[in-house]
Amino acid sequence: MGHFLYSTDIRINEEKRNLELGGHVGFDSLPDQLVSKSVAQGFCFNILCVGETGIGKSTLMNTLFNTTFENEEASHYEHEVQLRPQTYDLQESNVNLKLTIVHTVGFGDQINKEESYKPILEYIDAQFESYLEEELKIKRSLFNYHDTRIHICLYFIAPNGHSLKSIDLVTMKKLDSKVNIIPVIAKADTVSKSELDKLKIKVMSELVSNGVQIYQFPTENEAVAEINSSMNTHLPFAVVGSIEDVKVGNKMVKARLYPWGSVQVENENHCDFVKLREMLLRVNMEDLREQTHARHYELYRRCKLEEMGFKDTGPDSQSFSLQETYEAKRKEFLVELQRKEEEMRQMFVNKVKETEAELKEKEKELHERFEQLKRMHQEEKKTLEEKRRELEEEMNAFNRRRVAAETLMGQALQGCSQQPFKKDKDKKK
- pLDDT, tens digit (0-9, with 9 covering 90-100), for 411-429: 888 877 776 655 555 555 5
**Residue 283 main-chain phi, psi, to 5 deg:** -115, -45
Provide the pLDDT for residue 151.
94
For the ranges 104-113, 218-227, 234-243, the lowest mean pLDDT is seen at: 104-113
How confident is the model at residue 288, as a pLDDT? 93
The angle formed by the CA atoms of residues 332, 334 and 337, to the nearest 5 degrees, is 110
Residue 65, number of CB atoms within 10 A of its CB: 18
pLDDT at 181 over 90: yes
What average pLDDT does this structure show over 92-104? 90
Give the mean pLDDT of 4-15: 48
The confidence score (pLDDT) of residue 55 equals 87
- pLDDT band at 7; cut points 50, 70, 90: very low
Residue 5 has pLDDT above 50, yes or no: no
Q: What is the mean pLDDT of the chain?
A: 84
Q: How confident is the model at residue 160 (pLDDT cuts 50, 70, 90)?
A: confident
The residue ranking higher by pLDDT, 373 or 262, is 373
Rounded Cα–Cα distance for residues 265 and 187 (Å): 11
* CA dihedral for 125, 131, 134, 136, sign (positive or negative): negative
Does 365 have pLDDT greater than 60? Answer: yes
Give tens-digit pLDDT for 30-62.
Answer: 888 888 888 888 899 999 999 888 888 888 898
Helices (H), 273-321: 273-277, 285-291, 298-307
Nearest of 159, 132, 53, 122 to residue 298 by alpha carbon = 132
- Segment 92-96 shows an average pLDDT of 88
Q: What percent of the chain has pLDDT over 90?
A: 34
Q: Which of 154-158, 189-193, 355-359, 369-373 has the lowest mean pLDDT?
A: 189-193
Give the mean model confidence (pLDDT) for residues 393-397.
91
* Residue 233 pLDDT > 80: yes
Mean per-residue pLDDT for 279-299?
Answer: 92
DSSP 179: S
